[in-house]
Amino acid sequence: MSPVVFYVAIAIVLAAVFTYLAVGRRVGTITIDNARSLMGSLDIEAFRNLVDPEEDAFLQSCLPADQFKTIKRERAWAALAYARTLSHIALEFSRFGNALRHSPDPSLAELGREVATGAVHLRMLALQATARLFISAAFPKLPQRSLRSLFEQYGHSASLLARYRMLERARKQPSQPSLA
Amino acid sequence: MQWINWLSFYLWIAPHLLLAVVAVLLWKRRLHIKFPVFVVYVWYEIAEFIVLFTISETGPHHQVWYFRVFLVTLAISVALRFGVIQEIFNNMFQEHGKLDSLARISLRWTTGFLLLGAVLIPIFAYGQTSNNLIADLAWLGRGVAIIQCGLVLFLLVFSRLYGLSVQSYMFGIALGFGILSSVELANWAMRAGGLSDSTARALNLLTTGGYHIAVLIWLGYLFAPASVIVQPRGVHVGELHHWNTELERFLQ
């Protein structure tokens, strides 16, 4: 392949990637439903159990080494699916928070800023957890580090979204007639 | 080939007229506060066009002068483009403390690798040695285009990976530079191979066309609306505080 063809091919691929990124960009009306349905599909307690170092230590003490390796690997793969879902939830939180930031109501805009910042942190931790779980699946003998900060951040983000839910409910509720 | 002359004339003038519209829009939306380097870049490109156009139209005997001024203005333009990419980076990550430091480290490594790649690939892959000014310039331009493309790609992919808020106009500025850099990469790669005068003139259409597309992207994204959300209306701030307090009590 001549150098000219090589560079022109790279340029065409790059232009195509830029176009793809522009087309794939989601702009328009955003609702909380995507985040809600993803949250509904995530069994956070099961995930917590799968990555619990104490649970691992208990299994290691009960099972023969070979069997423990197999089970640890399976647990890591199962936990990876949860981590990926959590990653997607973080992206949905982020989209939602960023859209809410444009609200004319300063309180809602501030809530949006908090949701977006928390979501970016959650995404960072979820990606970090994904990498760790891959390592854990590849090398089951390595000790598992706790993912406590990930669960804490998820709890924080979910509580921020709960605030927004309350507001939604307040809007839908008809005003009570006065008894006086 | 009258139509090629007309087309090249159009592609030279039109993007700069549209750039003037971009400059006005940037000023009207007070984006000069957030993107001072991009504003300088836009005005600089307009001024550069006026100078080069004047030299070109005053007569064919000014060709040497035209080339010298072109080289100097191109160098400044390239430096400003790097400034704009840095500006987009700062705006994108400024609100995210932990991610900002991670992004800075990643950007430094990316720049290092791109620089190394831009220098080493042509040397080791093809053993190319340049023997005239145009070939040297093409070699340099190709390297700069690779670095700029890589940096823009890094910005867009990194922000997408972490779901960062990238306002339409900021995304548009980055996208415009990305498209412009990839067109320039193709342009300089073809020029490095050595071209006849007529092919070089035809190739000018590619660069000016790419520039035209980039300006249209900037203009389009300046008009593009931001994401909107279906949000509760008519909720008073007092009510919001009430719900917040209730929820915090519930969570404790």
Q: What is the DSSP string of B164-187?
A: ----HHHHHHHHHHHHHHHHHHHH
- Total-model pTM: 0.78
The confidence score (pLDDT) of residue B234 equals 42
pLDDT at A180 over 50: no
Domain count, chain B: 1
CA dist., res. A103 & res. A165, Å (int) = 16
Test A11 with B178 for CB contact under 8 angstroms: no
Residue A24 forms part of a structural domain: no
The DSSP 8-state label assigned to residue A142 in this structure reads S
Q: Which residue of B149, B231, B251 to mutate against A (max A Cβ within 10 Å)? A: B231
| Model confidence at A124: pLDDT above 80 | yes
Other CB atoms within 10 Å distance of the CB of residue B206 = 15
Q: Are the Cβ atoms of B189 and A11 closer than 8 angstroms?
A: yes
Residue A93 included in any domain: yes
Residue A11 lies in a domain: no
- Assess if residue A175 is contained within a domain: no
pLDDT at A177: 43
Residue A135 belongs to some domain of the structure: yes
Kindly determine whether residue B185 and residue A11, on different chains, have CB atoms separated by under 8 Å.
yes
List, for residues A90-103, the tens digit of each pLDDT value: 888 888 888 787 77
Residue A107, domain member (yes or no): yes
pLDDT tens for each residue of A146-157:
788 888 888 888
Work out the pLDDT band at A27, boundaries 50, 70, 90. low
CA distance A171 to B232: 6
Give the pLDDT band of residue A176 (cuts 50, 70, 90).
Answer: very low
CB atoms near residue B71 (< 10 Å): 11
Q: Is residue A174 assigned to a domain?
A: no
Query: In chain B, which stretches have pLDDT less than 70?
Result: 1, 60, 122-132, 225-252
In whole angstroms, what is the distance from residue B184 CA to residue A37 CA? 45
**Among residues 52-111 of chain B, which lie with CB inside 8 Å of chain A?**
95-96, 98-99, 102
Q: Which of A14, A20, A84, A157 to mutate to test the interface with B (most CBs of B within 10 A)?
A: A14
B153 touches chain A (CB under 8 A): yes
> Is B152 close to A18, i.e. CB distance below 8 A?
yes
Average pLDDT score over chain A:
82
- pLDDT, tens digit, 9 for 90 and up, residues A42-82: 788 888 888 888 888 888 888 888 888 888 889 999 999 99
- Structural domain including A106 reads 30-164
pLDDT of residue A179: 38
Amino acid of residue B38: F
Write the residue in B178, B227, B235 that is nearest to A28 by C-beta: B227
- Residue A26's CB is within 10 A of a number of other CB atoms, namely 9
How many Cβ atoms sit within 10 Å of the Cβ of residue B251?
10
Residues listed for chain B: 252
- Inter-chain CB proximity A18 and B240 less than 8 Å: no
Task: Answer yes or no: is A3 within a domain.
Answer: no
Question: Which chain A residues have a beta carbon less than 8 Å from that of B163?
Answer: 90-91, 93-95, 119-120, 123
End-to-end CA distance of chain A: give it in Å, rounded: 88
- Closest CA–CA distance from residue B252 to any residue of chain A (Å): 11
3-state secondary structure of B229: strand
How far A87 CA lies from chain B's nearest CA (Å)? 9
pLDDT at B236: 47
Q: How far is Cα B173 from Cα B216, in angstroms, rounded to an integer?
A: 10
B179–A21 C-beta distance less than 8 A: no
Its domain, for residue B168, covers 2-251
Q: In this structure, what token pair is assigned to residue A26?
A: 């989601």
More confident: A167 or A180: A167
Closest CA to A117 of A100, A88, A97: A97
A159 burial (CB, 10 Å; 0-12 / 13-18 / 19+) is middle
Closest CA to A83 of A37, A141, A34, A124: A124
Contacts of B136 (CB under 8 A, 6+ apart): B130
Which among B171, B182, B247 has the least Cβ separation from residue A14? B182
DSSP A141-165: TSPPPP-HHHHHHHHHHHHHHHHHH
Interface residue of A120, A122, A130 to substitute, partner B, most B CBs within 10 Å: A120
pLDDT of residue B100: 78
Radius of gyration of chain B (CA): 23
CATH number for position B243 = 1.20.1070
**Cβ-count burial B32-53 (b if 16+ within 10 Å, e if not):** bebbebbbebbebbbebbeeee
Give me the number of domains chain A comprises: 1
pLDDT at A31: 65
Q: Which tokens hold the place of B248?
A: 């915090």
Kindly report, residue by residue over A126-148, the tens digit of the pLDDT: 998 999 999 988 888 777 777 88
